[in-house]
Structure 1
Amino acid sequence: MQINQHARLSCAPMMDWTDRHCRYFHRLLSREALLYTEMVTAPALVRGGALHLLAHSPQEHPVALQLGGSEPRELAEAARLGAQAGYDEINLNVGCPSDRVQSGAFGAVLMLQPGLVAECVAAMREAVDVEVTVKCRIGVDEQVPEEALPAFLEHIRGAGCGRVTIHARKAWLQGLSPKENRDIPPLDYDLVLGMKRAFPDMHISINGGITTLEQARGLLDAGLDGVMIGRAAYHDPASVLADADPVIFGTGSRSDPADVVRRMIPYIDAHLVQGGKLHQVSRHMLGLFSGRPGARAWRRMLSEGAHRPGAGPDLLLAALAQVAPGQVSQAG
């Protein structure tokens, strides 16, 4: 399956959440969905030599590296390092509204400089053979999205970018916190759908406020090429990812959450042998049984026990035993 097909459903890059342990766990739930790293800044890789930020497991593929930056040559070098590390796609962040990102002159503030974004995309594409993509907003601050977004897409398409993910909200760089920017600006799905009609040759995915596979199917049926889900995929991964392969991709069957817990054991064992801690992995699994009988006991046991010295797979299995028998027995 080509990476554009995997992009029919993707898990959004989320700082402090979509680390390598989270991605390994998500991959056990869905073989097909495209996974993204947390944003990694180009200066950290190129100037800081923080190549450990590129570490990932072969089992994570297809997996994309999201980069933050605004200097074309530096982004090109960071993209090259990412491609050498084995990532299937390099994505440029033009959507993050955090103060830290603004001070570095990248993220959503780049919506104001589409020409510079085009230069960055062109430099990155020249440096790597894997696909270079962009994740953006519909606009920032006083921009009129109906004018700013098509102009932005024209620029990046002209630089050779064929795939873009659009967070269907404005970002207010002044007056709203990053958290508020995820919820307060209104969603405009119609504008993103209009961009697909205006740019039929581009692969356009939509992000923002999507919580169910039913919503995702509706947006795909409406003509979009892909749907990216963030917080819902993290907090209730089974509801989004366990059914993703049959529902979105027409492959395989539903993943059984209890079986996924058991399949995480060898990974956790290896992590502990290398000096890691259980909670570094298990924190991403707290929502696995969300809304199901026994979910509260599962969360409580892991939350309270995973930080304790010597905590290991036995705790995970004990927590699994707290889930209603019907859930566990599905693993067969």
Structure 2
Amino acid sequence: MHINADITRAARLSVAPMMDWTDRHCRYLHRQLSGQALLYTEMVTAPALVRGGALHLLDHHPAEHTVALQLGGSDARELAQAAQLGAQAGYDEINLNCGCPSDRVQSGTFGAVLMQEPGRVAECVAAMRDAVDVPVTVKCRIGVDEQDPEEVLPEFLSRIVAAGCERVTIHARKAWLQGLSPKENRDIPPLDYDLVQRMKGMFPNLHISINGGVATLDQVEMLLDSGFDGVMVGRAAYHQPTDVLAQADRRIFGTGRDSTAEQAVANMLPYIDAHLLAGGRLHQITRHMLGLFAGRPGARGWRRTLSEGATRDGAGPELVEAALRHVTALAPEAKAV
């Protein structure tokens, strides 16, 4: 079993679990940019693992560590079994999703709807804690629908802390289960960082990471300086991964040197080769690489070349190298030659 004793430190900066985005190829890419940040899987449902036997959902590359498995579910026994499977597969942390507002999640009685059942969440956390040696954590919202977060959040946290949860990530927005789409739930409900900060005062021994609305590494530093134990970045880390992750090891963790998008591309080429040899398709990887050069001259050519070519039969690493030339041809050092 892979146990990383320094996972609390890794949680100073984490990349959020994002459905259809943070698959193993995305995580491998992010690891080329930051050797330190904590990475999360997409949410995997406990029933898919326990009843469906979909153990391929646990596949990951050894280079991804430190990496956490996020589970969705609401049955304590089933979650405990799924947590065991995750720990056996080598994940460094098992996280319970109590924040996702999608209809599909609600129908399975997990995700944000669990904010209404702190007792059940506590049972799930306790069962998962008993089942594995790795940390069991929770990702939640500040409340749902008409709940008063000032009342609901402290009660929710006190229950999961009593059940043995020592680390929580709080998306500092309510989730509206009725009336807002999942996409709208990421933007429309107002952020309340102050409320989450007050929770740090009420639960001084609980490691609290803040999530929601964080778009830059400057913001990450500011939030850490304001007293949060960790910061989780979502969409910005996906769409502008270099901006968020390339300087993170130095600025957030005080170790190592900055990485570059060019170096990340070079590191991805052998990984792409191995994926293609195993029968995979190029676009399964390159779809996560489109934002590597966001904001830089040539970024549009990079994106267009990959978007148009990666789905074609036989597309391989040479397409990535051709796409890269759009950027390197416009780099300042190239102009000086």
Distance 2:112 2:34 in 1: 30
Amino acid at match of 1:59: A
SS in structure 2 of the partner of residue 92 of structure 1: strand
User: Is contact 1:35-1:64 (8 Å) kept?
Assistant: yes
Q: Distance in 1 between matches of 2:19 and 2:279?
A: 23
Map residues 156-235 of structure 1 onto 2, 5 A cutoff. Answer: 156-235=160-239
Alignment of 1:10-21 (within 5 A): 10-21=14-25
Matches of 1:28 and 1:324 in 2, distance apart? 19
CA deviation map 1:78-134 (0-9, x unaligned): 000000000000000000000010000010000000000000000000000000000
2:333 and 2:134 mapped to 1: Cα distance? 42
CA contact (8 A) 2:298 2:330 kept: no
- Cα distance in 1 for partners of 2:333, 2:238 equals 24
- What amino acid does structure 1 have at the position aligned with 2:6? Q
Query: Is 2:262 the counterpart of 1:292?
Result: no
Q: Which amino acid aligns with 2:244?
A: V
> Who is 2:257 aligned against?
253
Partner SS state of residue 326, structure 2: coil
Alignment check: 8 A CA contact 1:321 1:328 kept: no
Quote the offset at 1:329 in angstroms: 5.8
1:43-82 to 2 correspondence within 5 Å? 43-82=47-86
Mapped partners of 1:291, 1:75: distance in 2: 42
For 2:240, which of 236, 240, 248 is the aligned residue? Answer: 236
Secondary structure at the counterpart of residue 238 of structure 1: helix
Aligned length: 330
> What is the root-mean-square deviation in Å for CA atoms of aligned residues?
1.1
With the length of structure 2 as denominator, give the TM-score of the two structures. 0.97
Alpha-carbon distance, 1:324 to partner: 4.0
- Identical-residue share of aligned pairs (%): 74
Question: What is the Cα deviation at residue 325 of structure 1?
Answer: 3.7
**Counterpart secondary structure, 2:294:** coil
Q: Displacement of 1:199 after TM fit?
A: 0.5
- For the pair 1:42 / 2:53, whether they are aligned, the reply is no
Q: Which runs of 5+ in 1 are unaligned?
A: none
Give the 3 Å change call, closer, same or farther, for CA 173–248 of structure 1 in structure 2.
Answer: same
Kept after mapping to 2: 8 A contact 1:39/1:67? yes
Residue 80 to residue 328, structure 1, CA distance change in 2 (3 Å): farther
Are 2:278 and 1:278 aligned?
Answer: no
- The whole-number CA distance in structure 2 between the counterparts of 1:225 and 1:327 is 37
Letter in 2 for 1:70: S
- What amino acid is aligned across from residue 60 of structure 2 in structure 1? H
Deviation at 1:327, TM superposition (A): 4.1
Gaps of at least 5 residues in structure 2 are none
Kept in 1: contact 2:43–2:72 (CA 8 A): yes
Counterpart check, 1:264 vs 2:241: no
Which whole-Å CA distance do the structure 2 matches of 1:237 and 1:32 have between them? 14
- Alignment of 1:137 with 2:141, yes or no, is yes
Between the aligned partners of 1:327 and 1:137, the Cα distance in structure 2 is 42
Distance 1:225 1:123 in 2: 26
- Find the aligned partners of 1:201 and 1:326 in 2 and give their Cα distance: 50
Q: 1:322 maps to what in 2?
A: 326
The one-letter code sitting in structure 2 at the alignment partner of 1:234 is Y
Please report how far the alpha carbon of residue 259 of structure 1 lies from its aligned counterpart in structure 2 after TM superposition. 1.1
